Amino acid sequence: MTPRRLSVATGLAVALLAAACHQDKLLTPPVPAYTGGEMFVRYVSLGNSLAAGFQSGGINDSTQRQAYPVLVATAMRGDSFYYPSLTMPGCPPPFTNVFTQTRVGTTPCLFRSPAIPPYLSNVAVPGAGVLDPLENGPAPGTSSNPLTQLFLGGRTQLRAMMDARPTFVSVWIGNNDVLGAAMDPANAGDSTLITPVAAFQADYAQIADSINATHAKALLIGVANVTAIPFFSQGATYWAIKNGLVPGAAFPPTFTVSANCAPIASRIPGARGDSVLVPFPYGGALLTAASPPSNQPENLDCADTVRAIVVPAELVKLLTAVAAYNGVISALAAANGWAYVDPNPGLDSLRAIPTQVAPFPAFTDAQGRPNPCSANPFGLAFSCDGVHPSAATHTLIAKKVVQAINAQYGSTIPAVP
Band of residue 403 on the pLDDT scale cut at 50, 70, 90:
very high
Pick 308 or 116 by higher pLDDT.
308
Q: By percentage, how much of the chain surpasses pLDDT 70?
A: 93
Q: How far apart are the first and last CA of the chain?
A: 15
Range of the domain at 243: 232-300
Residues 39 and 72 in one domain: yes
User: Confidence band (pLDDT; 50, 70, 90) for 277?
Assistant: very high
pLDDT of the residue at 114 = 72
Residues 266 and 375 in one domain: no
Whole-number average pLDDT of the chain: 93
Half-sphere exposure of 64 (CA within 13 A, CB side): 30
CB 370 within 8 A of CB 364: yes
Encode pLDDT of 166-189 as tens digits: 999 999 999 999 999 999 999 999
Are residues 206 and 273 part of one domain?
Answer: no
φ/ψ of 11, rounded to 5, equals: 90, 150
- Residues 385, 250 within the same domain: no
Give per-residue pLDDT as tens, 45-70: 999 999 999 999 999 999 999 999 99
The neighbouring-strand residues paired with 44 are 169
For residue 293, whether the previous peptide bond is cis, meaning omega lies within 30 degrees of 0, is yes
Closest among 353, 381, 294, 383 to 98, alpha carbons compared = 383
Can you give the CATH number for the domain in which 358 is found? 3.40.50.1110
For 246-292, where are the alpha helices, taking DSSP H only?
Answer: 280-290
Which one of 245, 270, 300 terminates a domain?
Answer: 300
How many other β-carbons are positioned within 10 Å of the β-carbon of residue 352?
8
- How remote is the C-alpha of 131 from its chain's centroid? 16
Task: Fill in the amino acid letter for 192.
Answer: T
Q: Which residue has the higher pLDDT, 315 or 24?
A: 315
Residue 306 inside a domain? The answer is no
Whole-structure pTM value? 0.91
